[in-house]
Amino acid sequence: MDFRNTILILTSNLGSQFLADPDLTSEGKRDSVMSVVRAAFRPEFLNRLDEMVMFDPLTRENLGEIVDLIVMSVESRLRERRIGLTVTEPARGWLARLGYDPAFGARPLRRLIQREIGDRLAVLLLGGGLQDGHNVTVDINDSFDGLVMNVDKP
């Protein structure tokens, strides 16, 4: 195996609690994170890394864009079965709010969308309530604490 033209990207949430601390300066955040990284990894390993880049925590706006990307992926899979999917803006906002966790990035958001949309669509498909050619609209419920799915049958 030849690694001459290879870039390896490693990610970690080590020290992420410091990134969300509004009382720390950028330099203070970096110093705090690096002390946690040095405690977690052996110096021999860290010395082999050419560069370490710290990213800012995701914002709610970033999460809104990620919601759009994940929903587009679900729409694409349904399109193969000629099933239309519409997720309203209020529902997208609810997903972004509930899936927001600055310490863990977008991972909770992906799981939330899988549970609230993907799994529920699968149950509808398996139960026969959703079939090829149908359209599904996902919206926020009347009490604003969950999602509802409405299936339009042609």
CATH code (residue 111): 1.10.8.60
| Residue 119 in this model has a pLDDT that exceeds 70 | yes
The verdict on 8 and 40 lying in the same domain is yes
Predicted local distance difference test score (pLDDT) of residue 72: 97
- Domains identified in the chain, total number: 2
For 10-31, the pLDDT digits (tens) are: 888 888 888 878 899 989 999 9
The verdict on 103 and 137 lying in the same domain is yes
Q: Could you tell me if 121 and 129 are in contact, meaning their C-beta atoms sit under 8 angstroms apart?
A: no
The verdict on 82 and 137 lying in the same domain is yes
The verdict on 94 and 49 lying in the same domain is no
Predicted local distance difference test score (pLDDT) of residue 12: 85
The verdict on 51 and 64 lying in the same domain is no
The verdict on 67 and 139 lying in the same domain is yes
User: For residue 100, what are the domain limits?
Assistant: 60-152
For 61-112, the pLDDT digits (tens) are: 888 999 999 999 999 999 999 999 999 999 999 999 998 876 677 888 999 9
The verdict on 35 and 108 lying in the same domain is no
The C-alpha atoms of residue 153 and residue 80 are separated, in whole angstroms, by: 17
- What is the value of pTM for the model shown? 0.73
The verdict on 70 and 2 lying in the same domain is no
- Closest to 97 in 3D by CA, of 145, 29, 47, 38: 145
The verdict on 1 and 39 lying in the same domain is yes
For 128-152, the pLDDT digits (tens) are: 999 999 999 999 999 989 999 999 9
The verdict on 42 and 66 lying in the same domain is no
The verdict on 124 and 81 lying in the same domain is yes
Predicted local distance difference test score (pLDDT) of residue 141: 95
The verdict on 52 and 90 lying in the same domain is no
Phi/psi class of residue 38: alpha, beta or left (left: φ > 0; alpha: ψ in -120 to 50)? alpha
Sheet holding 84-87, edge to edge: 84-87, 135-140, 147-152
